[in-house]
Each structure stands twice: as C-alpha cells, then as structure tokens.
A and B are shown apart, each in its own frame.
Chain A
C-alpha cells in the first residue's frame, strides 16, 4: 500500500525567507511524487513532479523539491517566500509498476507567509 505523511498542519514563514514544506512517503516499489497547491475555493494546481533522474526537481512559481530515497522524503522548497504563496499544499505519491494511476494524497500543509 502507498501512503504519504505531511507532518505539519501549518507552516509560518516571513516574506523573503526560505520555506520548506515536508513530505514523507511509503511505497512498496519506487515512487512517482507530486506536489499540488490549492488556493481558497479553487481546485488543485500542479506544481511539480518527480519521476526519475535528478533528485532536485524544479516547478512552477519558483518552487523546487528534493527527492531523498534513503529518507523517503520529497520536501517542497522555495528560496524566498512571497505573501502570494500562502495556500494549502498537498504532496501525493503513486507506486511505480502497480499499474495504479490514481494518486494517494497527504493531509495537506497550510503555508502562511507573513508580510
């Protein structure tokens, strides 16, 4: 079975400071990993994904994520936070080779960037 944990319900950061949103996963094989962002009263928007290759993945709006196989983590990062980054962030995983195309999501982390 595949699962995702986002250990922080909320992350607070000052504008201009670096931000990290944590994600750990569990799969039986190798993972495909995704980050999505949700703004109020909107659907989820794709940010970035890790399939294979370079462990540092760059995505939309200046976000990046680092895949760490030994720690089974896929933390989302941004060097300098903006107030407009305030939103709900979801990590998701898919287990490679199972044929399953649906995603398993974490419970979400609310990012609050203070001016």
Chain B
C-alpha cells in the first residue's frame, strides 16, 4: 500500500547541531508539507513544496530548510538546532490541487537539549 513515512520517529540532539528529518511518500503526490505541533498552537506550517525543485517558506520557517530533488522525498533540515525547536514534526502530502486532502505521516518527536 502507498504510504507516507518519517524517520527517525524520535531524535535527541544538542543545541547547535545540524539535524535532518526524513519524509518519504509513495503516492506520487506533487505537494508535500512540513508542520510542527506545539501545545496550544496546533500545527504550524514550516515549509512546503508543489513539485520537484520547488520549495516555499511557511509561517515558521526561520532556522529550517528543505530541498525537493525528487517527487517522493522532502527532507527537513535544522541548520543549527535550538531548544525552541523541540517539537513534534509532521510531514504531509496531497495530490496536486487546492481541493485535495492532505495525508499525514506518523510524526517525529525532536528534543533539543
């Protein structure tokens, strides 16, 4: 079955380190998204991509970057991890248009010490 996976599921790192979270989907969806979930804030958009070589900033993009070299993957990189980036990160994908439903991965819990 087609699916969307995230790895690792749990990560502990230290302040200042570079961290990359992986997201892989096998639906051949054009759109991919990264959100972070924090108590009291719901999910907030970090970065998104509408296709290969396309990337865009979301509302909380500072300190994060993404790249889209193929349809299946959208890795999220924390350039220099900060304690404020301790959160649960969700990747999502959708087919193409604005009416399409987004489907979410299982999440990555990141702790920055």
Q: Across the interface, do A43 and B104 meet the contact criterion of CB distance under 8 Å?
A: yes
Q: Across the interface, do A100 and B98 meet the contact criterion of CB distance under 8 Å?
A: yes
Q: Which secondary structure characterizes the binding site on chain A?
A: loop
Residues of chain B at the chain A interface (Cβ within 8 Å): 31, 33, 35, 40-45, 48, 50, 58, 90, 92, 94, 97-107
**Contact A44 B98, CB 8 Å, known A102-B33, A102-B45:** no
Q: Across the interface, do B101 and A34 meet the contact criterion of CB distance under 8 Å?
A: yes
Contact of A105 among B42, B50, B100, B103 (CB under 8 A): B42
- Residues in B with CB closer than 8 Å to A45 are 104
Q: Does A103 contact B (CB under 8 A)?
A: yes
**Contact A43 B101, CB 8 Å, known A101-B31, A102-B45, A108-B42:** no
**Contact A44 B90, CB 8 Å, known A90-B43, A102-B58, A105-B42:** yes
